[in-house]
Structure 1
């Protein structure tokens, strides 16, 4: 009995000692694993990353906002909250003048875009809206918010010349269609077609019926879409920020869709950015010039994060040199004898001592309210282009001003500054 009592006393003690020992061993092993893990974590940390970093290269792009930029020592700069400085290519004086003009006329929506055709430097990048003051320069320049209207006739003219069936000397007679286009006008009517023009004058005077009839006769949906693509529609532009694609839609089931689109009455959208880019094709002998906006970016520690470098390889040719020369003559006629003449001539006397070439576009909508879109895209001087531009406005029923007058004023200011001459 004594031995059995001893067993009952000793056995629990031995069991307790065994369990306690196992617990100590388990805690020891666990602690070693944790220590190894901590050591690995410490070794894997790069202490440099623990410093607060400056804005990383390319991240600064999302802060681009020329509306927030100001003139500083003769240059146009935007200072970010962390001290990073974005220096723009924009001419501060011309930018301010553009803003003053748009502010003076209190235009509901407007954009003025101008850049050098020699190197792509953007000189004016101004958007302003009296209707929605939240809209930025970037939105009003790069968004395809306006219908292409008669500016699209430049693409149509290029497509027609490319067929070989239409040349610049052929004469085409028509009637009506000055402000609107109907299917009835697409049918030739010798008894009424008493106004005759060649293709250059048809473009200069924006003869809707001529372009509609020529489009219906010589162009197909496929060919017009092909040329529109060559001229930048549905294209991604090589720009520092996204540019909304200008779009064109031609319904296959509509037998008159090609005709109406060729005349500028189709489902076509266009951004001011794209409008100016199109003019660079004609002004630069058939090869487009890409605009650039940011000259340099420096951190708060004066470290260069970005510096603009000229393009090494120019963009591909869009049209032949011969066709570009033909288009330039047509576009010059728009100013000397066509729809832009009033802004550049007073009776028979030139208002300015510089020449200009371009294309106007006007289109009105009535729903939900009356609004009139006004375009003028072009380049100057007409013979040796230095700058390309696009001005797009939306006027209410009681219009404030037209794009041709804003463009003429901006060109006058440009030549006054860069040529040191008074432009009348």
Structure 2
């Protein structure tokens, strides 16, 4: 239902991809303790002959061309890569980033069940960059998803309440100690996730977790791993303090010590939405040489690396993430001024993240959205990174809300309207 959909046609902006490719079999074996890949359903892939360099070498995502029905990117030499991207959704994502006048940003949307990339949009002032593949920005409060999973595994209940004080912008030793006189507010773990309450996560981490447990959960969910993908992806870094209680608490609450790529954000959301199963994400449909011969065809089978979370743990984390939109930090982005949802009858699970960083002689505001929808029957995972310098117009959660509105309006879901600037059929 996209006849007559008017969109902001965005200039192609993206980032550089290193001109090499991994050996997929070795990468798949190395992931998550050399777990076997489960393959279910679909057609058999085309037989592959030996090609030098490999078919997926040198794909330049900074030059994505979304002007036709089949979205493409140049590859090694005169090869051409056909991508799984939906051109209309891709243009919409770029339009939201441009309209928000962000300094840099990225939107990655995937089909949750198959792992197929629907949107891979990058925006950057200056030279083209593949921002979606870079992991040079702090995870911020998105890392609370990891801490939340580790706490559930440690036996913390969704409804267990802890009283707290302070910690809105920083965590000090004082905030780590319970004090009945100061601790006037109380919150469950679910509420703390939704409202991103730093002190609750910091205190729970120092009492219920240790560096080994938190590091283990983070690695299972993709941090510090070379996750197999069609193009090279920078690892999301992980440096959990081992002998510093305060810094450990800060890391658990999302203050520094880890980084995140937009790709990994989508991978995280996709894993939670799949009940704890990590599914391989794919972006390249085919690679053709200059004569039009098919050098590579995307396998149609769904590939599951491994179960990285117990299904009950993933369910609990998803319920916590629902609080973010229902009554937490993203409520205003997903509701109008009267409190009416932009996505009626669609529950959304997500996590926001915000950190300010001094760089280039000023302050850069880094904001994230990582989540999926519908929360009860997931269809798409969505990761959004927005960085602003100086006054800001949009944050990651605003772009995410518009992107989900666009997607479900385009699917013809009753009651969902396109965002301002877009018109339906």
Interval of TM-score (by shorter of Structure 1 and Structure 2): 0.7 to 0.9
Q: Which residue of 121, 132, 138 maps to 1:147? A: 138
Shift of 1:121: 1.0
What do residues 164-202 of structure 1 show as CA deviations (whole Å, max 9, x unaligned)?
Answer: 2x2112110011212222221111111011111111111
In the other structure, the counterpart of 2:47 is none
CA distance, structure 2, for counterparts of residue 187 and residue 81 of structure 1: 57
Distance 2:78 2:259 in 1: 38
SS in 2 for 1:351: coil
Q: Which is greater in Rg?
A: 1
Q: Secondary structure at the match of 1:197?
A: strand
* Other-structure match for 1:86: 81
Q: TM-score, normalised by structure 1?
A: 0.82
Q: Match for residue 62 of structure 1?
A: 57
In 2, Cα distance between equivalents of 1:372 and 1:274 = 20
The residue correspondences of 1:261-300 to structure 2 (distance < 5 A) are 261-300=251-290
Shift of 1:397: 3.3
Is the 1:175–1:193 contact (alpha carbons within 8 Å) kept by the matching residues of 2? yes
* Cα distance change of structure 1 residues 172 and 80 upon mapping to structure 2, 3 Å threshold: closer
CA contact (8 A) 1:250 1:266 kept: no
C-alpha separation between the residues in 2 aligned to 1:382 and 1:274? Answer: 19
**Match of residue 245 from structure 1:** 235
Name the CA distance, whole Å, in 2 between partners of 1:191 and 1:71. Answer: 59
Partner of 2:248: 258
Residue by residue, what CA displacement relative to the aligned partner does 1:263-317 show, whole Å, maximum 9, x if unpaired? 1113111111111111112111111222111101122323111100034651211
Q: Which residue of 2 aligns with 1:384?
A: 377
1:363 to partner: Cα distance: 0.8
* SS state at 2:299 partner: coil
Map 1:196-345 onto structure 2 (within 5 A): 196-311=186-301, 313-345=303-335
SS at match of 2:365: strand
Corresponding residue number in structure 2 for 1:395: 388
Tell me, yes or no, if the aligned pair for 1:229 and 1:235 is still in contact at 8 Å: yes
Alpha-carbon deviations, 1:188-233, whole Å to 9, x = none?
Answer: 1110111111111111111100101111111111111111111111
- Indicate conservation of the 8 Å contact 1:148/1:268, yes or no: yes
TM-score (norm 2): 0.81
Equivalent residues of 1:88, 1:293 under 8 A apart: yes
Equivalent residue for 1:126, pick from 121, 124, 134:
121
Change (3 A) 1:92 1:57: farther
